[in-house]
Structure 1
């Protein structure tokens, strides 16, 4: 009898096992989503309202305007993911899954956020007691650390973030590179179409630095020559992948570092560049790989013979006809300009190199030679830009420390004065433009300058 009972028990257990097994589809081993109740909170502030509290200086404590200690919650949608390692200890959120009016960065010591706070997930964030400030120009919610914004502790962060049951499909805002400077779009999900990586980088360089874990900037250009930087962490799992060689779209989080607008990828699925490349439109032309040199020997020379080399920009910003010209002396050609008899006050002209690709992990050096003639004042400066797109007045230019010929007040020197090796390693991993900027006046400084043997090498 006892043996019969055991047989019946085993049969019953086997039957239960068969039922349980039949409920699982073949090859489906996923864990079902845990159903939780929607948090019951009073949403009484917004991302835009919190950002408006910041005064532009030190971090400002987030608190109710009436001085009460009431809890303050905002509603937002997660747009970032730290799964690839390109974003770290940072959560980007915006106020709507489509056409957001505001976004913000949240600084935290928490990691592996993607496991619970995946893109599209609606959240509620308790912000009272936290601070709103900036990190390198990017509006950020965090804690106060002196005069700076710091990371929210893990426990505090987990208590303040409430995960909604709602998850929406994110629709990135399609925009042009020229529109990316709008501060209202910072920390939102955006998409650029008909873009590509420049020649010399596309299909050649990797997303990141292969030799170390430093972050790098990679330029992305549109077909009008406008450029925006994409930031890749040295710890991202795609840093060794080669940049695509085609044209297409990129979806990313719009950010800023000091004055430099930049993009953060979540993963390479957000880069779809399989189309036919464009030629750069009316911009300054395709970027060139190093080594780079120009001695002007292939140019026609003489009065009125403007420097006209593919990829170079030679412009008088005041609309005058005189620009940098190719001149020749004793069988040697060079670029020359002067305000003398220009009838322009001021006389301002720029001679800008093509875009030059400075490989990451290198220490590129710029060098050239100069002569001055009939010197009655300094009129030449050497500058560099990473955002030049064809309009010298719209780009950001930084001065370079170069040795420039001087002191020849009644004629010209016997030989070109070497500029010295100008270190460009601070710009490694970027496309740069070098400018020879002359500002004089027909009734003032009229010094003549000659430039030759421009070179940039690794």
Structure 2
């Protein structure tokens, strides 16, 4: 038994020594694949190549060593696009159709090796087809985010921003889309929503049913959004990267906070205006503003008598901030009399308004021929944003001897 144990031990020692002689101090590394660079092109060069007369059948395949440097502006991790990315350089933008999802992320600065890739258009969007991230892409750096270009809806529709990262300001979703989500998350159906600007120009926001934010409710306000300007055949459309870039934190067009409104529909016809809200003061002469009411519509008016007159119709003290004023006037039989609208920050509300400082505001005031009446005239939006705090607003009628005329005032509104 001792002889057997000794032999066994000798065999084991021999095996260990043999194995030790086979162990290397350094591990073997896999071969490094180098992606050639070749001639450098821009995305604008790609566009020129594709739309040149030499390109047949709507495709162009690169057979030599070329590269283009660009930055990723939209990846597919949100699910709003699939096996796809948008990149742009200092000239233009292009879509990358990837062989598999992932691998490219917003802010990646990359070099795209073009040999073997094909230039195509997919529904009028220029595209590099069948991009293999490992074989065709070299990451130069990361987190190199591109600032979106601020444009208008009408500018996008010119076709000069295809594939680019853009920012729209002062837009909102149309009334008919409010209450909806970006897409049909439950049934994974892609849907279109519509935004509009204050000119009435509209554009589609297209969202995949697979997008991570498909089931998010549309914001109801107005503001800015960042998106990729896409196109599908002849339809311009926007692709959102995430809803954090949809900042609708302002009121919708037309939404206001009304500070005061006077339609004068309850005014008594033919009697001088005498309310707690309006002071009716004859500084010179004996004219006063009176009610004008036919039983359905009311207004106030002042009628000249051919003498020298200065009359004030002064609204009660009002505290404003970022205010806007609107009103309507009508004139008739004018022979030199005038009407203006004024603001004061030092009028006390008592006594002669002549003792305070008044600034005339710019507004459209009605006029008329001397022998007839003119039409109602909208004042336009009178900007009061330079005034903050307590103010008085007044309408001042003036006439010299021999001058006369009639002025009507209605639909007086101040809002913020």
Q: State the TM-score, normalizing by the size of structure 2.
A: 0.50
More strand by share: 2
Q: Which has the larger radius of gyration?
A: 2
